[in-house]
Structure 1
Amino acid sequence: MAVAHHHYELSPALMLRGNALGLSSMLIWSMAFPAADILLKSWDPMALTLFRFVLSVLFLIPIWIMIEGWQKVRSAPWLRGILIGGPTFGIAPYLLLVSQDLTSAITAAILASTLPIVSTLLEVVTGERKLRITFVLGLALSVVGAIVATGQIEAVSLGWGALAMLGSVVLFAVGSYLAVRNFPEVTPLGHTVLPLVGGLIVTATIYIGMIAYGLDVIPRHHISSTEIVWLVIYALAGLAISQLLWVAAVGQIGVALASFHINATPFYVMILMLFLGASWDWPAAIGASIVILGVVVAQLRRRGCVVQS
């Protein structure tokens, strides 16, 4: 299928809007981390991933129909969306949970900071971005900021958890890129829903296969009202809403620049944990400041690539 490549100058308004969407996406997405920490104590990662997809899709499809009408939703490129979202968004969230389950939060945060690097390489390979010194410097500041935010600079221990996170990052970057670039005829809502439905189908298929194979992945404990609240936060904030804002940001400023914002996530998580009784974390605050500086430096030259949603 043909994918249009658009190269033109980003206006200040477009840059501001795209960065605001990226920041908001990661701020809301960060709510998933404390929720996942709590839920993983009693939920299998695949069962949790499936529930997240089901609730997100059931939440977004009615909104899409109400805003754009049934005819537009029905005529959307469902097959393309499912084929793109299935192997990318369907597997990336599960690998992220596996990584969080097998490694420390610090290791996961450092590994997640590779998303801007992967996204940049993706845009360079596809010819959508020419590297400039300001962009490379901004990228470096973004990664350094993420490392500072975790309070750790030693080498990350390798293992299945690390490989799972790297796999998640690559799939998420590729899925985000393809979702926005291959559906010029739909809005950010469509860019969000279509791949998520593909992810739901793949996740449900794997889950059913795991049950048929005899694996114990069915939740068997009593689910409390508090746990239900965390499940809703994990699904709607951690996927549905944050994903909608994310694909809108990618459509405005590209997947590479949008992904810079993920490296401020440790700071957002720290802010959320303050409300749960944690103390102020200066490394997280300083790291977030470095990430923001990286975002600004990377865009000092207003020339880039973007595909309007």
Structure 2
Amino acid sequence: MTTAAFVPSPRNDRVSANLACIVSMLVWAAGFPIADELLKTLPALTVTLLRMSLAALFLLPVWIVVDGPSRVRGAAWGRGLWVGAVGFGLGSFLLIFAQSRTDGVTVAVICAAMPVAGIALECLFDRRRLTWRIVAGLILSVMGGMAVYAARMGHIDFGLGALAALVSIFVYCWGSRASVTALPGHSAMARTALTIIGAALGIVAAQLAWQALGGEPVAWARIGMREWNLFAIYAIGSLALSQLLFLIGVAGLGIGIASMHMNIAPFYVMLFALALGGGWSWGQGVGAAIVAAGVIISQGRNGRRTA
């Protein structure tokens, strides 16, 4: 697999990449409570299957319209499908499985480690040098993320579900990075659509293999209009749109710094709740400020993007 070099990113590009990450996290955060609802009646594999399939069916025609049929035909389908099946198919299943064994808050707490995984992958594959800014930003991001999540913690079960969530973090970070480095010359839309299609095909294959081994088939009878509505939001908004924006952020900042934005997601959830009459949490507010400081410090004069 080829690895794109990291070069300094112009300031305007970094601002756009950070804004893309912010909006991505706003949309992504809505997925946790939706997944909790769907997992009450459906197994993790079915939830992953329908989420990925709906997202792929939505993204493919949009990709054709945006980039044109010729570019779609000429895309690096082999690499894209492989990255999608492993990075986002396996990664998403492990995350949803983890949530089925715990809850959305527990999984969100574990996601605070995402920047650690992102920076580790950049050091391993891209020879990123750990400057004091990166280290300080990483520490602040994780500390702030834990503070944000701690304000919402309930019962935390660090068992098999937590292990699955930890593995999913590294798999997802690898997939996000590979979506950029393995598909040079592709638009953000192409990278998103191609990898999500790969994820959907990978999960379809997993479902067929599961049924062939005697596992439970898709329980269509349990899926009514309410579930389809939830899946539409979960697939198109919390996955397709969020992933497109996140990959724009990864291309401009690198997976390490882009993943720091994930630790502020629960704060956005609180803001939505506040707008609807909910209460303010100083714990989340302070934690979000710490994460934001970490993101700003980590970039400084060392903002990076993939070429």
Superposition TM-score, scaled by structure 1 size: 0.92
Once the two structures are TM-superposed, the CA of residue 82 in structure 1 deviates from its matched residue by 1.0
- Distance verdict in 2 for CA 1:226–1:158, change over 3 Å: closer
- Distance verdict in 2 for CA 1:284–1:250, change over 3 Å: same
Superimposed CA distance per residue, residues 182-226 of structure 1 (whole angstroms, 9 cap, x where no aligned partner): 111210011111111211111001111222222224224453433
Q: Which moved more, 1:285-294 or 1:199-208?
A: 285-294
Q: Which moved more, 1:121-130 or 1:238-247?
A: 121-130
The answer for the alignment partner of 1:165 in structure 2 is 165
Q: How does 1:181-260 map to 2 (within 5 A)?
A: 181-260=181-260
- Distance verdict in 2 for CA 1:274–1:229, change over 3 Å: farther
Name stretches of at least 5 consecutive residues in structure 1 with no aligned partner: none
Query: Cα RMSD between the aligned structures?
Result: 2.1
Q: Distance in 2 between matches of 1:124 and 1:233?
A: 35
Once the two structures are TM-superposed, the CA of residue 273 in structure 1 deviates from its matched residue by 4.3
Q: Is the 8 A contact 1:5 1:128 kept in 2?
A: no
SS in 2 for 1:113: helix
The answer for the alignment partner of 1:91 in structure 2 is 90
Q: In structure 2, what residue type is equivalent to 1:196?
A: I
Once the two structures are TM-superposed, the CA of residue 87 in structure 1 deviates from its matched residue by 1.6
Q: In structure 1, what residue type is equivalent to 2:306?
A: V
Once the two structures are TM-superposed, the CA of residue 274 in structure 1 deviates from its matched residue by 4.7
The answer for the alignment partner of 2:19 in structure 1 is 20
Q: Distance in 2 between matches of 1:241 and 1:182?
A: 21
Q: Distance in 1 between matches of 2:150 and 2:66?
A: 44
The answer for the alignment partner of 1:5 in structure 2 is 5
The answer for the alignment partner of 2:54 in structure 1 is 55
Q: Distance in 2 between matches of 1:47 and 1:189?
A: 26
Q: Distance in 2 between matches of 1:156 and 1:235?
A: 26
Superimposed CA distance per residue, residues 4-54 of structure 1 (whole angstroms, 9 cap, x where no aligned partner): 3132x2222111111111111111111111111111111111111111111
- Distance verdict in 2 for CA 1:268–1:86, change over 3 Å: same
- Work out the number of aligned pairs and report it: 306
Q: Is the 8 A contact 1:129 1:305 kept in 2?
A: no
Q: Is the 8 A contact 1:53 1:200 kept in 2?
A: yes
Q: In structure 1, what residue type is equivalent to 2:267?
A: F
SS in 2 for 1:91: helix
Q: Distance in 1 between matches of 2:111 and 2:94?
A: 12
Q: Which moved more, 1:54-63 or 1:221-230?
A: 221-230
The answer for the alignment partner of 1:127 in structure 2 is 126
Q: Is the 8 A contact 2:42 2:222 kept in 1?
A: no
SS in 1 for 2:86: coil
Q: Distance in 2 between matches of 1:305 and 1:279?
A: 37
Q: Distance in 1 between matches of 2:290 and 2:38?
A: 31
Superposition TM-score, scaled by structure 2 size: 0.93
- Distance verdict in 2 for CA 1:272–1:93, change over 3 Å: farther
The answer for the alignment partner of 1:287 in structure 2 is 287
Q: Is the 8 A contact 1:34 1:269 kept in 2?
A: no
Q: Is the 8 A contact 2:27 2:238 kept in 1?
A: yes
Q: Which has the higher helix share?
A: 2
Q: Distance in 2 between matches of 1:244 and 1:278?
A: 30
Q: Distance in 2 between matches of 1:65 and 1:185?
A: 16
Q: Is the 8 A contact 1:24 1:245 kept in 2?
A: yes
Q: Which moved more, 1:17-26 or 1:265-274?
A: 265-274
Q: In structure 2, what residue type is equivalent to 1:53?
A: M
Q: Distance in 2 between matches of 1:222 and 1:158?
A: 30
The answer for the alignment partner of 2:140 in structure 1 is 141
Q: Distance in 1 between matches of 2:50 and 2:105?
A: 26
Q: Is the 8 A contact 2:6 2:126 kept in 1?
A: no
Q: Is the 8 A contact 1:128 1:305 kept in 2?
A: no
Once the two structures are TM-superposed, the CA of residue 130 in structure 1 deviates from its matched residue by 1.1
Q: Distance in 2 between matches of 1:194 and 1:138?
A: 32
SS in 1 for 2:88: coil
